[in-house]
Amino acid sequence: MAARQVIVSGARPTGRLHLGNWHGALKNWVRLQQEHECFFFIADWHALTTSWEDPVGIEEATVEMVLDWLAVGLDPDRCTIFQQSAVKEHAELFLLLAMVTPVPWLERNPTYKEQREQLTDRDLSTLGFLGYPVLQAADVLMYRATAVPVGIDQAPHIELAREIARRFNHAYRPIFAEPQTLLTETPKILGTDGRKMSKSYDNAIYLTEPAADVDRKLSRMVTDPRRARRTDPGVPDDCPAYVSFHRIYCTSDELRWQEEGCRTAGIGCLECKKVTIRHVLAELAPIRARRESLTAADARAVLEAGNARARRVAAETMAEVRAAIGLP
């Protein structure tokens, strides 16, 4: 991306963040804030679309997450960090965009179908869940986003936001930019049990947990099952630790040594992992130190300032939107 873009992205309040979150989104955000105008928000209303029956802990999770954002290097002087529910204009824009959004556009959304099939323990037969891509459209169009960083699974939502913007612009007045999808190539981070790293699987390595815990978890992480004994050779590509961690953290010389040692059973798994663990700990040390220097009051102050800034932009957008429709 050459020109300065307006970037908007959010995340549901899930509390403490892990290495999957870091490599999946945050690292990219920290880079984007250097060159673009960025709005990063806690998507607490989005959390309700799938967890409306159990809203407990949103406030605490919000504070924890903002503290982790600050710890990894999101800088409130370079980006706007805010909480979705603190900017009520998002709800108004959601409502007005809902007026122009045909229901079949939402019903054909692939994640709508997938999640209804997968999350069978929840009641997702709600208008809120069906309409959450409209809320996402409101979130990004509000700030005239020109680019939205997403993983491939979220790309259809940005396409939908573009279609909604087009329909609104055509019906009333061309107010909204059509945001481009900024596809983020992210490495696949597996948890210590070899499944996708996730808090709910209890297999995550958190950004701010003590070094000894990170060391212990990674030391015990599953590897290629062929290496049941020290003398059994393995295949690095079939090793979750190799795929998720060695490849990301190790130098090319180290990788060569690990591959060779794995295939020939010249090294043991722990010996192999120790090299990677050293790099992971070195990356996490400054994040942990910064996190320890921050308090909940810091997170709240950042949110207060960010909310005020987001509200100013949102108020300007909504004044134009209302005028275009002919509303007071």
**Partners of 80 in the β-ladder:** 39
CB of 238 to ligand SF4, least distance (A): 8
CB of 207 to ligand SF4, least distance (A): 22
| Dihedral class, residue 220 (left if φ above 0, else alpha if ψ from -120 to 50, else beta) | alpha
CB of 263 to ligand SF4, least distance (A): 8
Q: What distance in Å separates the CA atoms of residue 163 and residue 153, rounded to the nearest whole number?
A: 17
Nearer residue to ligand SF4 within complex by CB, 269 or 310: 269
243 is a contact residue toward ligand SF4 (CB under 6 A):
no
In contact, 233 and 263? CB cutoff 8 Å: yes
Q: What distance in Å separates the CA atoms of residue 168 and residue 111, rounded to the nearest whole number?
A: 24
Placement of tokens 């996708």 in the chain: 196
234 is a contact residue toward ligand SF4 (CB under 6 A):
yes
218 is a contact residue toward ligand SF4 (CB under 6 A):
no
Q: Please name the residues in contact with 263: beta carbons below 8 A apart, sequence gap of 6 or more.
A: 233, 234, 235, 236
Piece of 11-19, 192-200, 233-241, 320-328 that binds ligand SF4 (CB under 6 A): 233-241
Give CA torsion, residues 117, 122, 125, 131, to 10 deg.
Answer: -90
Determine which residue in the list 203, 224, 250, 280 makes contact with ligand SF4, applying CB under 6 A: 224
Piece of 25-33, 68-76, 231-239, 314-322 that binds ligand SF4 (CB under 6 A): 231-239
Determine which residue in the list 12, 36, 90, 273 makes contact with ligand SF4, applying CB under 6 A: 273
Compute CA distances 188 → 25, 222, 295, whole Å: 12, 15, 31
83 is a contact residue toward ligand SF4 (CB under 6 A):
no
Residues 31-70 that bind ligand SF4 (CB under 6 A): none
CB of 276 to ligand SF4, least distance (A): 8
- The encoded tokens of residue 297 equal 């009051």
Give CA torsion, residues 235, 240, 245, 247, to 10 deg.
Answer: 40
Piece of 201-209, 223-231, 297-305, 307-315 that binds ligand SF4 (CB under 6 A): 223-231
Q: Please name the residues in contact with 90: beta carbons below 8 A apart, sequence gap of 6 or more.
A: 45, 84, 135, 138, 139, 142, 314
262 is a contact residue toward ligand SF4 (CB under 6 A):
yes
Nearer residue to ligand SF4 within complex by CB, 26 or 241: 241
- Residues near ligand SF4, by CB under 6 A: 223-224, 227, 234, 236, 239, 241-242, 258, 262, 267, 269, 272-273
